[in-house]
Amino acid sequence: MNTTTTELTPDTVSIHAVGETIKPATVSPPKASAPDPFDPAKLRLSQGMTAALGVKKLTTTVPTRKPSKEWFVRCHPDPAYRLETCVVDLKEDSETYLVAPDLWDHLAGETTFSPRLLVTAINKQGTLFLWPIRLPGPDGRHDEWSKSAMEAANIATGGWVRVQANMNLGAYEVYEAAGNLGDPEWPKMPFNELLRVAFRDRYIDSLDHPVLKRLRGEA
């Protein structure tokens, strides 16, 4: 007389006769979850695809500022991307205004008015900016801050540098990048267009400009 026994396993329950070979039941693997169609990593355009589609990054903002002390920066090697001019610098507002040349004589005695060298620069993250470096005044004097900033900008035309203020030294210290950080990707637009973007809302072309009225206590 055949006797059957029941064997319980963690995965299956099988019934077999005594003396029969036990074959493990096949366990189906768990179903893999479907890929997320909204995964940003899969939806993001690569640089190669961007170029193939004819998409280009537009330069819509160009701040006028000193480089942050943690930035590695480069300065444009083409002298055409530098400009010696005059500006009104409002330190409390952290804003620099470009001044029309026919107003320079009128503002010669204004303490916020000064000659500057505007240098086209870019940081490692691709942020384009104009670096305003103070030029010697009518007396020809050039302080150590301005002189060291000018030297840093010249070094940065050939390599990545960090510029950090040393208050004890009374000047900027320059640190060159230890590794090869590659070359920057400069925007393909003429310097006058960079100036237009940078100063579109900060151009003083009249003595009745709100900034000058404010400096005179009229507004």
Tell me: the pLDDT tens digits for 181-219?
Answer: 999 999 989 999 999 999 999 999 999 999 999 999 997
Segment 77-101 mean pLDDT: 96
The pLDDT of residue 124 is above 80: yes
Confidence label for 130 from pLDDT (cuts 50, 70 and 90): very high
Cα 153 to Cα 76, 92, 117, 184, 219: the distances in Å are 9, 25, 10, 15, 37
- Please report which confidence band the pLDDT of residue 12 belongs to, taking 50, 70 and 90 as the band edges: very low
What's the confidence (pLDDT) of residue 53? 57
- φ, ψ at 122 (rounded to 5°): -150, 145
Domain count, the chain: 1
The reply to whether 134 falls in a domain is yes
Confidence of residue 142 (pLDDT cuts 50, 70, 90): confident
Judged against a pLDDT cut of 90, whether residue 15 lies above it is answered with: no
In a domain, 26, yes or no: no
pLDDT at 8: 47
Beta strands 95-99 and 203-204: pairing type? parallel
Domain that holds residue 160: 73-215
Q: What is the reported pLDDT for 23?
A: 57
Residue 7, in any domain of the structure: no
Residue 184 lies in a domain: yes
Residue 3 lies in a domain: no
Give 40-82 pLDDT, tens digit per residue. 877 776 656 555 556 566 788 999 999 999 999 999 999 999 9
For residue 30, is it within any domain?
no
Q: Which pLDDT value is given to residue 105?
A: 95
Residue 54: its pLDDT value, please? 60
Q: Tell me if the pTM is above 0.85.
A: no
Give just the sign of the alpha carbon dihedral 9, 14, 19, 22: negative
39 falls within a domain: no
Q: Which of 122, 140, 136, 99 is nearest to 183 (CA)?
A: 122
Using alpha carbons, select from 180, 67, 59, 194 the residue that is nearest to residue 123.
67
Mean pLDDT of 79-99: 95
pLDDT score at 19: 52
Give 22's pLDDT tier (boundaries 50, 70, 90): low
Instruction: Compute the distance between CA of residue 148 and CA of residue 174 in angstroms, rounded to an integer.
Output: 8
Residue with tokens 């009104």: 88
Does a structural domain hold residue 85? yes
